């Protein structure tokens, strides 16, 4: 039976791991029996019981919360996932799916008495159907890998999170990831037409396919972005997008964030929909310069990275309009990428921003919220005021075109009270987003980190309806428990003779729904 070492705290942060609390003895026994069963079915090499190896998977990209999983299964095929989940259902053991582990909301945070199902070894591109502009891929296929495989045929996979060189498509589906180009091309949900799913009961089902709009209920819409709470995706059928005829990228430097925000609003108001409009403030520029020497305009209080693509004639006309609007808004320098190398350098600064902040701060919290574009100047000023009042610096880097903010709250965890001040500012930023008619997340998901904020955005009735949908898929509440919903709630008693209180209810960490 696996070692039962208590969940750790993150060094220097002081934030407790989101362990599920006291777990009844029968759950320990169930996990022990499950371990023996899975070792027999899948082999020792694919079932990790050693504590040191399990600790490798204790967190995703949000390292503030860490929990050592009770057991880790390295799935190679959909059949492995089905076998694992079916065994979990039989023994009443919770399970969590994990891809590349790049998520930023704790969506893949393990369960200390559950199974972590890792799909990163499932990385085959099963089919490339270029005439129909479709691809069928395993969940472990890396986002950028699919684009590389299809670019020779004149296509690519449009969703492009900043982590696209390492994140997996299964994770993109779970979190409904976006990226710099989601302004024009939409999020992952706009590019998924079919899913193979292992349900929480362990059944394998196919939903949708290659058709652009399959009949019936929109189950795909429910599954994409459900963060692994409705089952585990074992394959995805996705749209391929034709490479644009022309791509033009420019970098505009502004003295202030207000000027850059005004330029963004003016561009959209003019009817121009760029593929991307990305903004970085002075602090995030400083970090990027130290990390990758991107050479952004000296003295800029903010920069915009703007990319236009499409038919050559359309791009040429829109490009002139964008340059003019930036200059009218106060841009003191506008650079145009002359070739792919210069274009890559412009994007390198933006795409390295999250990691680059580590050059100027020992610790930071990546926040994710959405506001109307017109509220950008006001909200950004308010964020600065929040940080100044708490003695915390905030670097802003975000998708300006659709108002998706990614403030980076900087702090030093070794300083007394620094963690609490940073988390207060991070929560205050989400309150600002809601006050201005926005959302607590744009593309990073809710996961473990933002579950407590859900009641600020949704009513009790809203949350009850969401929970009812979840119960339809997962009546035993075994799939990624403790995520999304602020208070874990169960789905009532199972039909038939009562088998005793549910372990999570008995442990005092959930209530019957």
How many other C-beta atoms can be found within 10 angstroms of the C-beta atom of residue 59?
24
Cβ(370)–Cβ(403) below 8 Å: yes
Topology of domain 245-357, per CATH? Alpha-Beta Plaits (3.30.70)
Query: Which tokens sit at 331?
Result: 């841009």
Helices (H), 121-218: 143-150, 169-175, 182-185
Q: Where in the chain is the domain with CATH 3.30.70.2190?
A: 245-357
Mean pLDDT of 135-159: 97
In this prediction, residue 300 has a pLDDT band, given cuts at 50, 70 and 90, of very high
Topology of domain 25-118, per CATH? 3.30.43
Q: Where in the chain is the domain with CATH 3.30.70.2740?
A: 361-449
Element (H, E) at 238: strand 232-239
Tell me how far apart the alpha carbons of residues 56 and 264 are, in angstroms, rounded to a whole number.
Answer: 42
Q: Where in the chain is the domain with CATH 3.30.43.10?
A: 25-118
Tell me the CATH number of domain 361-449, given options 1.10.3720.10, 3.30.70.2740, 3.50.50.60, 3.90.930.12: 3.30.70.2740
Q: Strand 489-490 relative to strand 511-512: parallel, antiparallel, unpaired?
A: parallel
How far from chain centre, in Å, is Cα 447? 9
How many other C-beta atoms can be found within 10 angstroms of the C-beta atom of residue 380?
25
Tell me how far apart the alpha carbons of residues 376 and 353 are, in angstroms, rounded to a whole number.
Answer: 19
Q: Where in the chain is the domain with CATH 3.30.465.10?
A: 125-242
Query: Which tokens sit at 105?
Result: 């909301």
How many other C-beta atoms can be found within 10 angstroms of the C-beta atom of residue 140?
22
Tell me how far apart the alpha carbons of residues 415 and 406 are, in angstroms, rounded to a whole number.
Answer: 24
Strands (E) across 264-352 are located at 276-281, 302-310, 333-336
Tell me how far apart the alpha carbons of residues 239 and 270 are, in angstroms, rounded to a whole number.
Answer: 29
Q: Is the pLDDT of residue 438 over 60?
A: yes
Looking at the whole model, is its pTM more than 0.95? no
Report the candidate in 96, 100, 85, 94 with the shortest Cα–Cα distance to residue 37. Answer: 85
Taking the C-alpha atoms of 213, 219, 222 and 226 in order, what is their torsion angle to the nearest 10 degrees?
A: -110
Three-state SS annotation for 12-70: CCCCCCCCCCCCCHHHHHHHHHHHHHHHHHHCHHHEECCHHHHHCCCCCCCCCCCCCCC
Q: Is the pLDDT of residue 388 over 70?
A: yes
Q: What is the pLDDT of residue 6?
A: 34
Topology of domain 125-242, per CATH? 3.30.465
Q: Strand 232-239 relative to strand 192-198: parallel, antiparallel, unpaired?
A: antiparallel
Q: What is the CA radius of gyration of the chain?
A: 23
pLDDT tens across 233-284, in order?
Answer: 999 999 999 999 999 999 999 999 999 999 998 999 999 999 999 999 999 9
In this prediction, residue 177 has a pLDDT band, given cuts at 50, 70 and 90, of very high
pLDDT tens across 59-103, in order?
Answer: 999 988 899 999 999 999 999 999 999 999 999 999 999 999 999
């Amino acid at each position: 039976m696996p070692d039962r070492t208590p969940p750790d705290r993150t060094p220097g942060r002081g934030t407790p791991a989101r362990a599920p609390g006291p777990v009844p003895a029968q759950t320990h026994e169930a996990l022990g029996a499950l371990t023996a069963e899975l070792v027999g079915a899948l082999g020792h090499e694919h079932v990790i019981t050693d504590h040191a190896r399990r600790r490798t998977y204790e967190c995703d990209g949000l390292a503030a919360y860490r929990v050592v999983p009770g057991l880790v299964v390295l799935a190679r095929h959909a059949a492995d996932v089905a076998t694992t989940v079916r065994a979990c259902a039989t023994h009443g053991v919770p399970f969590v799916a994990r891809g590349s582990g790049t998520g930023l909301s704790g969506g893949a945070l393990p369960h200390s008495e559950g199974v972590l199902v890792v799909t990163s070894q499932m990385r085959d591109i099963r089919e490339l159907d270029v005439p129909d502009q479709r691809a069928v891929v395993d969940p472990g296929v890396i986002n950028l890998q699919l684009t590389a495989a299809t670019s020779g045929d004149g296509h690519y996979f449009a969703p492009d999170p900043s982590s696209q060189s390492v994140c997996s498509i299964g994770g993109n589906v779970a979190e409904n990831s976006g990226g710099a180009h989601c302004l024009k091309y939409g999020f992952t949900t706009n590019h998924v037409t079919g899913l193979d799913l292992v349900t929480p009961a362990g059944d394998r089902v196919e939903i949708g396919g290659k058709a652009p709009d399959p009949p019936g209920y929109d189950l795909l819409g429910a599954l994409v972005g459900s963060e692994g709470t409705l089952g585990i995706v074992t394959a995805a059928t996705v749209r391929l997008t034709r490479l644009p005829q022309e791509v033009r990228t420019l970098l505009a430097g502004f003295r202030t964030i207000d000027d850059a925000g005004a330029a963004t609003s003016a561009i959209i108001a003019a009817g121009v929909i760029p593929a991307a409009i990305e903004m970085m403030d002075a602090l995030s520029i400083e970090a990027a310069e130290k990390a990758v020497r991107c050479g952004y305009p000296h003295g800029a209080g903010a920069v915009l990275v703007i990319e236009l693509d499409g038919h050559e004639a359309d791009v040429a006309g829109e490009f002139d309009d964008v340059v003019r609007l930036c200059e009218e808004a106060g841009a003191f320098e506008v650079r145009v990428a002359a070739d792919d190398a210069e274009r890559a350098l412009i994007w390198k600064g933006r795409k390295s921003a999250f990691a680059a902040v580590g050059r100027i701060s020992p610790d930071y919290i990546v926040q994710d919220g959405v506001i109307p574009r017109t509220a950008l100047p006001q909200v950004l000023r308010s964020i600065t005021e929040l940080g100044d009042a708490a003695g915390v610096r905030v670097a802003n880097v975000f998708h300006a075109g659709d108002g998706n903010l990614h403030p980076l709250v900087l702090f030093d965890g070794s300083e007394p009270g620094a963690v609490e001040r940073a988390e207060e500012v991070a929560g205050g930023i989400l309150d600002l987003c809601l006050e201005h008619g926005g959302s607590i997340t744009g593309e990073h998901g809710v996961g473990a980190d933002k579950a407590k904020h859900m009641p600020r955005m949704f009513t009790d009735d809203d949350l009850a309806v969401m929970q009812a949908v979840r119960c339809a898929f997962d009546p035993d509440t075994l799939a990624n428990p403790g995520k999304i919903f602020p208070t874990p709630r169960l789905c009532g008693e199972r039909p038939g003779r009562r088998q005793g209180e549910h372990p999570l209810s008995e442990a005092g960490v959930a209530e019957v729904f």
